[in-house]
Structure 1
Amino acid sequence: MTIGKIAGAGNSTVEQLYQLVDKEPLLGSAYYRLRQTDFDGESTYSKIILLTFYPEAKHYSDLSPNPVAGGKTVLRLGGMQAGTKVRVSLVHMSGKIIRRFEVSANQIGAVEWEMSGLDSLASGVYSVLISTEQFNETLRLIIP
C-alpha cells in the first residue's frame, strides 16, 4: 500500500530531508518502509520499522525500572500531541533540582527517555516533575 509520494531533489551532494505524514494510519501496530526510485527506474527499500498508533489513548506515564537498576531508568510518556514540549526535572527530597531536560513528543505523541548515571546520586526517594502546556505531573523515583 502506498501512502504518498514526494519528488526528490535530483542529483545532489547535500543531504536532503524529506517528511510525509500517514493521514490515515492503521490503529494499533503497522509496519512501514520507504522506497526510493532513481531516475533510471531502479528502486531500493529502507529497513522496515514498526510504529504503533492509538489516537484515543489517554495520557500515561511510567518510570521503569523503579527502583532504579544499574544506575538508570526509562521515562515513558504518551497520549500527547506530536511535538509537545515536555520539561522534566529530577528533584531531591530536599527540594534541590538535580537534573533538568526538555524533550519533544514524537509523531505518535510519546516520549521514551533514558535517565542514566543515577548510581552517582545518594540513595533516597526523588521526585520527577513533568510539565507540558496541557498537564503537570509528579512521579516518585527510588534510588537504592
Structure 2
Amino acid sequence: TFSNYSEPNRTWVARIPSSANIQGTTVKYVFYISDGTLASAWGRISGDGYQTTWDEGTVNPFSYTVEAPLPVELTSFIALAEKNRVELNWSTATEVNNYGFDILRQVILRQAQDDNNWEKIGFVRGYGNSNSPKNYSFVDSNPTAGKVLYKLKQIDFDGTYEYSKVVEVNVETPKEFRLAQNYPNPFNPETIISYSIPEFMVRQAQNDIHLTLKVYDMLGREVATLVNEYQKPGIYNYKFSISNYQLPSGIYIYQLKAGNFIETKKLMILK
C-alpha cells in the first residue's frame, strides 16, 4: 500500500507485505504526477513492516509502481588458472527463485570475442531462495590453452535468465606433445589419462589438430576409441571407464596420435 505518512513534511510511505520476502534489497519507486511527468527515488527496504519513505516535496503523486528486485544479487565472480585447470568462484548476497547457473566458456585464439561462440561446460544448482550470502565454485579441468573467457548464465525456476560479467584468464600453453601415465594404475573401474597439445602443432597445421586416443589389447587389437576429433592446444584429462567397454582384467596399451606424433603407454585393469 501507499499512504500519506506525514502531511506537514509531505513524506510518503510505501508498505510492502512481508510475504514479498525482499527485505534488505533496493527497489525503485516511480511516481506518476498529475501533470503527466514522472519522478522517482531509490529506497532500501528495511525494518519491520518493510517500509521506506520518500519526501515528495511539492509533488502531488496519485499512483506508484515498485520495480521488482533482481532474482539474484551477484557480489563477486573470479577465475584463477592453476596448471592445467581453471577454478571459478562466485558469491551471491541474496537469491529469489534461483534454479542455478550455467557455466559458459569461450576461447580466444586469433580473433576477438564472439558473442555467439560461447559453449556450456557445466551447471551448478542454486539455493532457490536465500537472504544470506552463498558461495559457489566450479573447476574447468580441461581448459584450452591461451586466453579463455568465462561467464555465468543465472537461470530462474520459470526459465528467465541473466548473464554475469565476463572474466578472463590466460591458460599456459604446453611446450610439448605429451601423453602422461594414467592414474590410478592399476585401476577399476575408472582412470584418468592426461595429454597435452602444444601451440606449435596448431601453427604448423594452420588449424586445430586431429587427434586419436585408442586402447589396444596385448595382441594389438583395438578395444576402445576414447578420442577421435579435432582439438585446440591445451592440456586434456580424459576419464576412461571400463564399464563402457566391459574389458576383462589385464594389461593394455593406450596410444595418442596427432599428425606425425605418436606416443604409447601401458595400463592395467585389475578386477
Aligned residue in 2 for 1:93 = 218
Q: 1:45 aligned to 160, 164, 172, which one?
A: 164
Q: 1:105 aligned to 231, 244, 258, which one?
A: 231
Instruction: Indicate the SS of the match to 1:33.
Output: strand
Aligned residue in 2 for 1:126 = 252
Note if 1:64 corresponds to 2:189: no
Instruction: Indicate the SS of the match to 2:234.
Output: coil
Q: 1:80 aligned to 192, 198, 201, which one?
A: 198
Note if 1:18 corresponds to 2:117: yes
1:135/1:33 CA distance change after superposition, 3 Å? same
Give the drift of 1:35.
8.8
Number of aligned residues: 115
1:57-111 Cα offsets, whole Å, 9 max, x none, are 2222222222123x111221113346322112211112221112413334x4333
Does the aligned pair in 1 maintain the 2:174–2:235 contact within 8 Å? Answer: no
Aligned residue in 2 for 1:11 = none
Aligned residue in 1 for 2:66 = none
5+ residue gaps, structure 1: 9-16, 37-42
1:95/1:56 CA distance change after superposition, 3 Å? closer
Give the drift of 1:125.
0.8
Shift >3 Å, 4+ stretches:
3-6, 32-36
Larger Rg: 2
Does the aligned pair in 2 maintain the 1:89–1:99 contact within 8 Å? Answer: yes
Q: 1:33 aligned to 150, 154, 160, which one?
A: 150
More strand as a share of residues? 2
Give the drift of 1:120.
2.8
**C-alpha distance in 2 between matches for 1:109 and 1:67:** 26
1:54/1:129 CA distance change after superposition, 3 Å? same
5+ residue gaps, structure 2: 1-107, 119-145, 154-161, 203-207
Does the aligned pair in 2 maintain the 1:104–1:111 contact within 8 Å? Answer: no
TM-score by length of 2: 0.35
Give the drift of 1:113.
1.8
Aligned residue in 2 for 1:13 = none
Aligned residue in 1 for 2:54 = none
